[in-house]
């Protein structure tokens, strides 16, 4: 660990150790200039790297968003092809942009620059990947699974980039917002059971996260996410509820083959 401090040692060690001796011969100005030249170099490198990471992260965000939109194009009839395309796009995000990020981040950079890449990788990529997986299989994409797809991107001699638990959980919290949209869309499309499945799934996630929030490093961010998440859960539940209650009035009226029921129910609708 501590690649950077170490690097500076190499840079600074030779010239600076003798600074005490040199104070007689050198003006204070130049010994400071020497040292600060090195600090400037370090800061420049760090900032450049941070910028590159932010850029890569932003690309991941944009393209993961596209994947999410693609998933929302799902309907009863085109499920397979929509998801296939989404998965292909997701793989492209991984191959093109994530690999760029992975190249930048090594060792201590994971945590040092976390703020720079966390929003892109976390909020969007984890979200897109878990959303795809859920639509396909109805299960939660696990952190280990995501991380195993990251492994091949890294240089085997270096410590590989792995998404950490905190980022994964933040991504999951965002996922529920997308699932809420998906559920509402499915309901209006008549896929009630799919919506109910989403509902159950989201509740499970919410419940599990409730237990974890107090332990998280930076729990204030997560707490606001939990509030939004609860709103999403409630929205889905209300939507399911409404369809059960009100939908039950219509399904038989329009689709039932029972004529007597049709007649009895008919006077009630005045659309």
Partner 1 sequence: MKSAFRNAYFTLSRSLNPNPSPNFPFSLHTISAIPLFHSRIFRPLSTATPPPPPPPPPPYSSMADGAAHALPPSSSLEKQFEDFRHQLDESGSLRERIRAVAMEIESATRLMHANLLLVHQSRPIPEVLEKAKVQIEVLKELYSQLVEVLRECQGHYYRYHGDWRSETQTVVSLLAFMHWLETGILLMHNEAEEKLGLNTSEFGLDIEDYLIGVCFMSNELPRYVVNQVTAGDYDCPRKVLKFLTDLHAAFRMLNLRNDFLRKKFDGMKYDLRRVEEVYYDVKIRGLAVNGDSKEDQGIPGQS
69 counts as binding partner 1 under rule CB under 8 A: no
Q: Closest by alpha carbon to 71, among 53, 45, 90, 58? A: 90
Helices (H), 119-191: 127-137, 143-150, 165-188
User: Are the C-beta atoms of residues 189 and 76 closer than 8 Å to each other?
Assistant: yes
Q: Does 250 help bind partner 1 (rule: CB under 8 A)?
A: yes
77 binds partner 1 (CB under 8 A): no
**Does 196 sit near partner 1 (CB under 8 A)?**
yes
Considering the rule CB under 8 A, would residue 72 count as an interface residue with partner 1? Answer: no
User: What's the distance, CA 21 to chain centroid?
Assistant: 54
Q: Is 223 in the site for partner 1 (CB under 8 A)?
A: no
259 binds partner 1 per the rule CB under 8 A: no
Piece of the chain touching partner 1 by CB under 8 A; list 58-66, 91-99, 106-114, 116-124: 106-114
Q: Quick one: which of 191, 225, 226, 232 contacts partner 1 (CB under 8 A)?
A: 191
Query: Residue 120's closest CA among 58, 76, 198?
Result: 58
Can you tell me which of 58, 216, 221, 228 binds partner 1, judged by CB under 8 A?
216
- Site for partner 1, residues 24 to 43, rule: CB under 8 A: 28-29, 31-33, 35-37, 39-40, 42-43
User: Which CB sits closer to partner 1, 63 or 191?
Assistant: 191
Least distance from partner 1 to the Cβ atom of residue 114, Å: 8
Within a 10 A sphere around the Cβ of 60, how many other Cβ atoms? 26
Question: CA angle at residue 149 from 168 to 60, to 5 degrees?
Answer: 60
The only residue of 59, 159, 221, 228 in contact with partner 1, by rule CB under 8 A: 159
Q: Which residues in the 125-154 window bind partner 1 by CB under 8 A?
A: 134-140, 142-144
Return the residue of 62, 91, 151, 165 that touches partner 1, per CB under 8 A.
Answer: 165
Select from 78, 96, 188, 224 the one that contacts partner 1 (CB under 8 A): 188
The secondary structure of 174-234 as a DSSP string is: HHHHHHHHHHHHHHHTT-HHHHHHHHHHHHHHHHHHHHHGGGSTTHHHHHHHHHHHHHHHH
Contact 130, 140 (CB under 8 A): yes
- Report if residue 160 touches partner 1, rule: CB under 8 A: no
């Amino acid at each position: 660990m501590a690649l950077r401090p170490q690097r500076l040692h190499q840079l600074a060690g030779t010239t600076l150790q003798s600074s005490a001796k040199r104070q007689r011969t050198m003006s204070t100005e130049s010994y400071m200039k020497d040292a600060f030249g090195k600090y400037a170099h370090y800061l420049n490198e760090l900032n450049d790297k941070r910028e590159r990471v932010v850029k890569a992260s932003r690309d991941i965000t944009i393209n993961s968003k596209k994947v999410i939109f693609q998933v929302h194009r799902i309907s009863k009839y085109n499920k397979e092809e929509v998801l296939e395309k989404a998965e292909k796009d997701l793989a492209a995000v991984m191959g093109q942009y994530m690999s760029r990020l992975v190249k930048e981040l090594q060792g201590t950079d994971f945590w040092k620059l976390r703020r720079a890449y966390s929003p892109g990788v976390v909020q969007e990529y984890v979200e897109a990947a878990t959303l795809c997986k859920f639509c396909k299989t109805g299960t939660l994409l696990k952190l280990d699974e995501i991380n195993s797809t990251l492994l091949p991107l890294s240089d085997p001699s270096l410590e590989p980039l792995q998404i950490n638990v905190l980022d994964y959980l933040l991504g999951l919290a965002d996922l529920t917002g997308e699932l809420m949209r998906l559920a509402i869309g499915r309901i209006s499309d008549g896929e009630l059971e799919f919506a109910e499945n989403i509902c159950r799934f989201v509740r499970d996630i919410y419940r599990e996260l409730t237990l974890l929030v107090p332990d998280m490093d930076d729990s204030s961010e997560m707490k606001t996410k939990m509030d939004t998440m609860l709103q999403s859960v409630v929205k889905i539940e209300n939507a399911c509820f409404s369809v059960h209650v009100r939908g039950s009035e219509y399904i038989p009226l329009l689709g039932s083959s029972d004529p007597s029921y049709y007649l009895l129910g008919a006077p009630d609708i005045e659309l």
